[in-house]
Chain A
Amino acid sequence: MSGGRLAENGGQRIRRGEELRFTFDGDSRVGLAGDTIASALYAGGQRTFSRSFKYHRRRGELCGCGQCANSLVTVDGAPGVRACGEPLRDGMQVEHQNAWPSLELDVMRATDLVGGPFTPPGFYYKTFIRPRRLWPLYEKVLRSAAGLGKLRRRQPEREWRTEYRRRHCDVLVVGGGIAGLSAALRAAQLGADVVLCDEDVEPGGSLLFEGGHERARDLAARCREAGVEILTRAPGLGYFDGLVPVWQGDVLHQVRAARHVAATGTLAQPLVFPENDLPGVMLAPGALRLAALYGVDPGRCAIAGVDDRALETALSLHRLGVQVAVVADLRPDADSELTAALETAGIELMRGVTPVRAGGSKQLAEVQVGPVDPSGRLRGSARRIACDVLAVAGPQAPASSLLLQSGARARFDDTLQSFLPQEAPPLIHPAGAVAGHADAESAMLSGAVAGAEAALALGFGEREDRDRLASERAKLEAEAPTVRRAAPPAKSHDGGRGKAFVDLDEDITAKDVAYAAAEGYDSLELSKRYTTVTMGPSQGRFSQLASARVLGEVTGRPLGEIGVTTARPPWTTVPMGALAGRPFEAAKRSSIHARHRDLGATVRWAGDWRRAYDYGDVEGETMAVHEGAGLIDVSTLGKLIVRGPDAGELLDRLYPNRMSTLKPGRIRYGVLTSESGRISDDGTVCRLDDDTFYVTTTSSGATAVERWFTWWMASWPELDVTLTDVTQGVAAMNLAGPGSRDILAKLTDADVSNEGIAYLDGPQLAIAGIDCLVLRIGFVGELGYELHCAAPQARGLWDAVADSGARPFGLEPQRILRLQKMHILVGQDTDSETTPYGANLDFAVKLDKEQDFIGRWALEHYEERPPAQKLVGFTCPGGEVPTEGAAIVEGDRVVGQVTSSRRAPKLESSIGLALVEPRLAEDGASISISDDGRRIAAAVQTRPFYDPDGELLRS
């Protein structure tokens, strides 16, 4: 067995002599500064890192770069950390996940040993549907049996801070290999603002572990000098119409670039053969990274592949001092400079063979290789090769997810034996291996071309830069790659038993995919959903091609026809919390809000406002309005200034009644309807002068009404009128109650008598030294004055009025008070079908006025026909307060609905409003309310419950 470190070389990341101490499942371990958790564990002899998702099989290092699920561990209590991508820190507490009682002895392994035949794809769909009542139990057991670690128990331990950073740039380069660095450098040199993001801890890609580390680091340094912002350990998560979220630790960069360069490289692919998941079977780049970057001696290696990468891997490992036992090349005719180099190095090359079985108990001990027929079955006998590591170099697959998300198409290339992205959108420039330029020189050239194309398209650069681009393009095309690659079988085997995995994340075998196809799930998308193949944490990086091959074989269709599944974000697993945003709620608060808090208000949401619902005594606050004076903050009302010579004309066209006939200083109620005559909002209109109107709307309708007005003003350009929304700039408070006049008199020198300020007057007065618009209206049914003033001075006004004897009351008392008067709340007492006629607002519709107005045609129609429902009041003699929304029924038939209901302390009765069939809209009619299983008897009342003639309002 291997262990320890190789000799130093210039490309290693580790700093020998700087030891870091950490624990793994409680055992003390030692690593080096620069290690990943996995490299430190591996160097210390650890081979099993995790247990698999379903069968709880041992899993070891696979990709070496934080992209597979094999190395998922829990670090300091946080689950789902990829050990092979996570830098080691001193004091880390690393634990395995998904195994019990220990990583070495996992009782759930029984599912692999005895449960395999009983757990084919879809077994739980079929097994656990009966009896249905036991499903909750099944679900609980299944969820605890499967899983990828456990979240911390206490909520505070689960929380962390995510920074959100929006970044605009000219060019975003995704991928920091040689092509990406080259693209970034060229674009920056041409003057573009460039961001480059890469998944690794440093840019450089495969150059870093394939002998080109100096070149990679020099290129990265030149990029920084040219002003490129390089984000490391920062994968691009997806492509959203030009926006690419880049996840970097605790920061989510939302990068919006004018142009994108996709230099995402390729992904090494596994080969499928029995026991191909044993710890020790790893992808060739994974083995190389361990040796080159972390100086880990992986032990005696065998290499298996389908093209020259296997030979290159063998030579690289050999150069690093790793013992290479043999190279198994599926190509029967492999012959190049590399084969000669292998011979020189004394490495045996076996041509035309591939692994047909891996062997070992806890980890790889040997691999059997031999020739196979086109179906993958061993021809003749296999040779056993003792080894600690089998480095697999299957056909490279382009990491094309981002390109495909952006709209590119995947086409199968027979020569490369993989799906290449094509027809990328014009704003995206593929570069490097993902575009088919795999060797370092052509990747670098393609990067430079992509960077130049992106920058020049944005107007950077000069004529000579365009000429240079043209010559580089020509050179790139002339250097079209010549790859000799063998097509691997869907599964190679020796005819014996053993699981051959196509997806290590989800424990899906080649047999599972074939089984699903036999059950009719014979397209890749259906197979994915039925078997969950490609749905694990690796997002199909290492399983899509393998599963497609199996499906192609069992269905007899070529790979190009099988295709690939839809590429979806996120490309890398990302915590849900990272997508949630900072915990701030965009709440509106009135300028008096802090005073409500001081007064002990119960504050609740009302639309997008935070409002005082009450001050702890709803009944007392209600009675104060009846008996003395109350004061409520109504700053949330929408407020619009409509100005211009045609302001009256505009309002006449928008409202069903006449507004142009209002005299300056007077107020009129208005209801707004849609073109179909349905109520959309209501409020008051006060004429300030000949050309200026002050319009109030409901609190929740303010924005919609402003847009409604703006829409129609754009449709009537002939009108000389302007609109300004002053909702947030003007505070308003309603001083109401029989004592309100006396309070007002204390605060102003103006004549506030009933003659001085009559009902529906709207004078402008200085109240407590503050200029106010005073609207004498009465939403709550008592003598009242709405005081409107500049919001920055509203707290002073509030304090002055309150100090003069008005008791603050909240929204809940206001709702009781207005209900007594049957004043409607649009949206609560009306629905999308309610017309003014149905809501008893006939007085606000003037069909005899000369102007056409919004909804006129419909209202003329409805005037002649009774509305489907009519709003009425009701009282409940038994004192019950029915739930708002409760049905009004006759037998089993619904004939109406309660819209509002309260107990009114002044009236000492239960009252409400309801929409009912018109035949029931008669005083004294009996109705029955069905409310949560009980029947409540109620009597209809058509006139207001309180002050029905409005004498108090006008007094």
Chain B
Amino acid sequence: MSYALAVGDFVSTDTAKPTAGRDRIFYGLVLLNAVCLVATLQIIFLKAPVESTMGIVQKIFYFHVPSAVGMYLGAGACFLGSALYLAKGDLKWDALARAGADVTVVMGLMLIISGPLWAARAWGRYWTWDPRLTTSLLNVLIYVAYTVMRSFSAGGEAERKFAAALGILGTANIPIIRYSVQKWGGQHPRVITKGGGGLSHPDMKLALMMGFVTFLLLSVVLIWQRMRLHMAQTQVEALEQEALELGIAGD
């Protein structure tokens, strides 16, 4: 079945030889990500100085902000995949949208778990209904809804199209998160945003830069891995359908 073969050329199996080159790039990225992670941890804990007012808890910042960027990247992938699926109807774009949503949920959870832990020390409370915190939580909930819907729906074309619409609409919240601090104020720090004071020490800047590199690589690796997984799932469904048509009793 051409549909199964079209899916299969992206999936890593013994019989799908064209993926060998992609696999090498993928595992190269994983290795690079691991090296960056170790280097980032070294810089954060051994090189970057402790912040003068908040103390050591401020070091959460070097992964907290990059996890927000990872969340944006995941949401961007979900938007791109959804839009291209609606435009072209190719299942690989639907897999990209699903992968993007998965990564948005994980990065978003990292963000909204680490933020309150930092706030407990900095603000004396875990949570306030600050505009940025509220919009970030809303964003995670949107993508949790997306992934739950995809996990429990039958996976037909109507569900895929509905999910694509949700994937596109969900992205509308991203610029609201980004500009909520400038528009509505609130308690959330704006150290590195426009009008903020910036990081005063070069090692603090280096730690943040390394955090960004590590989380961008991690997001790309996770999106790629989840996309492969969703493509393989689609291929299994197609092969099972073909087996049914040929009258082979499946497990």
A binds B: no
Mark A residues whose CB is within 8 Å of B: none
